[in-house]
Structure 1
């Protein structure tokens, strides 16, 4: 059958990773189903997962943007970065998840090498904007709540600058593979594309790019998030200790602590698999590993388009109330509550 004939791989694709299947390099991920990597059920299950990410991620992020446009009270400078996060998530779902769904249905990257570069670049760009947006959110909260600069007023042009920086940093990370520093190739089950961090083709080129991503695009944002939220927790614990008899302050401390833990864990779930796997491969060149495991980091990063909005937007009471009102699901009590004075928790949580 045509789907199982062996063909030569394109020049820009080469995987010397040893697997149980003999002559794997004769099975082009652009030309034939990758049934040597798993049964049809696995590919269709992954297709279903990508379809869920596409539908849920597109819906929740599009609603976030629409809700912000409709309700003026959400268009504060501190919410700009949340809309920026939603836009980056839409890029991941509309280009990355949708393409992967189509390819998983066919069990190989049927869209071709050019589409592979486009999908890899778009998913990486959107993912990096999302990643840096989380760091900017933490930095904004630190500036506004902890006031390290005294009476410094965080204004709209500061928020716009923060959003612009996320796209600049993301382009610095996503563009190099298009110009020869690493490259975009199929990964895992060969139905999604990402930077080449696991082949031995042009070893120094790929390894230097991996270390660049690990240092600039993982360690720096993660360090920023940990520092800023730890300062928030320290400040809140100090306030709670000074007001030990205040039930509202104690409650605020517990709620914000849970929120911060969820935020940090969400970041790690999204990006730790890529960072750990890529660094392990770079430091263990020549050792055999199951190529299919490379699908895990790809799925974790694309899934962030769904769980990041849940953490940063739907857990925001103001956003949640306006969203329910837009969908006709709010009650009079909720609308009255949304207009009341903000609580200590909302001052510390993402706004």
Structure 2
């Protein structure tokens, strides 16, 4: 007579299996060789260490140099804060549990890690979307004379944190749950549940925390590229060989590709096991998307911050240790009020300065002046 087969979290068991031994809170999974956990512990140590170092550096440099503390950079710093917290809480717990070989910290730590990683991860995800929208807002100027200010940037941050909290706190209070993953050393939303209530949460979560931000990113960068292409054509008719769309196109492609590479595998895996909760997957294979998504905390600072020319200059000055002498190089115009070309910082500022406010094909004289100011600003020593 055939053995009766049970399915628990997608792992098949027969009555001969010792289900108790497979409890991730009491000991390592018998089906996973110890070296796998050692490898994951080393991997999480590297990812966590690099991420904490990079994102702390972003926050330190932004705090040290007031030229970087501008509305256009608020969301970039917010992205670093979210990535830092993901690594500090989720990365540290994951390193400890993999080093031990099982989730020895208990169920409370499982809920903490599941919520923290999901919450701060979605904050980072929506930060990328708001960052794309802000760039669209600055470059395309959909509201004409309305410019990005501190109040707008603060509202963007408030939206990111509030919206992310709304869609990640329900599992703590019973709408779905945070549970141990198949590998037994990390915690995540309960993708494998066959309960209808859990399915509704996962589908809602997938829509609001992946589809929507992805749509904002693609839509914003798509409109931005259309605008820059028009400006590029105008420059060509005027005999100007400078093509702003070329220098931005590469950056946009890298940003969208990074988003897709970091989050699409995890999103695809999540929706797959939600639709087919009894699917049999090797725990090590099932763990790849979740661990891979954690690498976003490493390359986000590289793409969105360290590729910023002005930030790099301030970073070099900070590590050279000559910041004390920077006050002698300050330009009297460095404290201009927000709204001037000098306040439009970041890798897009020079391009934004030379795009006409109106739909005319020729830049206005004051915008040409703004371009020169922005160019000079990038070459100046970063004021403290």
| TM class, shorter-length | 0.7 to 0.9
Do the aligned residues in 1 keep the contact of 2:28 with 2:102 (CA within 8 Å)? yes
Computed over aligned residues only, the root mean square deviation of the Cα atoms, in angstroms, reads 2.8
1:112 alignment partner in structure 2:
106
Q: 1: distance between equivalents of 2:77 and 2:121?
A: 15
| TM, length-normalised to structure 1 | 0.86
Q: 1: distance between equivalents of 2:284 and 2:349?
A: 42
Structure 1 SS opposite 2:312? helix
Q: 2: distance between equivalents of 1:87 and 1:174?
A: 18
Structure 1 SS opposite 2:11? coil
Aligned: 1:83 with 2:77:
yes
- Stretches of structure 1 lacking an aligned partner (at least 5 in a row): 1-13, 331-335
Do the aligned residues in 1 keep the contact of 2:79 with 2:127 (CA within 8 Å)? yes
Do the aligned residues in 1 keep the contact of 2:10 with 2:281 (CA within 8 Å)? no
Do the aligned residues in 1 keep the contact of 2:28 with 2:184 (CA within 8 Å)? no
Q: Which residue of 264, 267, 287 maps to 2:279?
A: 287
Q: Which residue of 254, 257, 269 maps to 1:265?
A: 257
Aligned: 1:171 with 2:165:
yes
Q: 2: distance between equivalents of 1:21 and 1:240?
A: 69
Q: 2: distance between equivalents of 1:300 and 1:21?
A: 34
Aligned: 1:325 with 2:320:
no
TM superposition shift of 1:292: 2.9
TM superposition shift of 1:289: 2.7
TM superposition shift of 1:84: 0.8
Q: 2: distance between equivalents of 1:212 and 1:264?
A: 23
| TM, length-normalised to structure 2 | 0.79
Aligned: 1:230 with 2:222:
yes
Q: 2: distance between equivalents of 1:281 and 1:144?
A: 40
1:300 alignment partner in structure 2:
292
**Residues 14-25 of structure 1 aligned to structure 2 (within 5 Å):** 15=9, 17-18=11-12, 23=17, 25=19
Q: 1: distance between equivalents of 2:229 and 2:29?
A: 54
Do the aligned residues in 2 keep the contact of 1:19 with 1:288 (CA within 8 Å)? no
Q: Which residue of 292, 310, 325 maps to 2:302?
A: 310
Do the aligned residues in 2 keep the contact of 1:188 with 1:293 (CA within 8 Å)? no
Q: 1: distance between equivalents of 2:15 and 2:251?
A: 46
Number of residues of Structure 1 aligned to a counterpart in Structure 2:
329
2:365 alignment partner in structure 1:
none
CA deviation string 1:167-191 (max 9, x = no partner): 1111112101100011111114111
The alpha-carbon distance between structure 1 residues 160 and 344, as it changes in their structure 2 partners (threshold 3 A), is: closer
**Residues 4-153 of structure 1 aligned to structure 2 (within 5 Å):** 15=9, 17-18=11-12, 23=17, 25-26=19-20, 27-37=22-32, 39-153=33-147
TM superposition shift of 1:241: 2.1
Q: 1: distance between equivalents of 2:10 and 2:289?
A: 20
Structure 1 SS opposite 2:77? helix
Do the aligned residues in 1 keep the contact of 2:75 with 2:157 (CA within 8 Å)? yes
TM superposition shift of 1:130: 0.1
TM superposition shift of 1:220: 0.6
Do the aligned residues in 2 keep the contact of 1:127 with 1:301 (CA within 8 Å)? no
Do the aligned residues in 1 keep the contact of 2:24 with 2:102 (CA within 8 Å)? yes
User: Which structure is larger by alpha-carbon Rg, 1 or 2?
Assistant: 2
Structure 2 SS opposite 1:194? strand
TM superposition shift of 1:233: 1.0
TM superposition shift of 1:41: 2.2
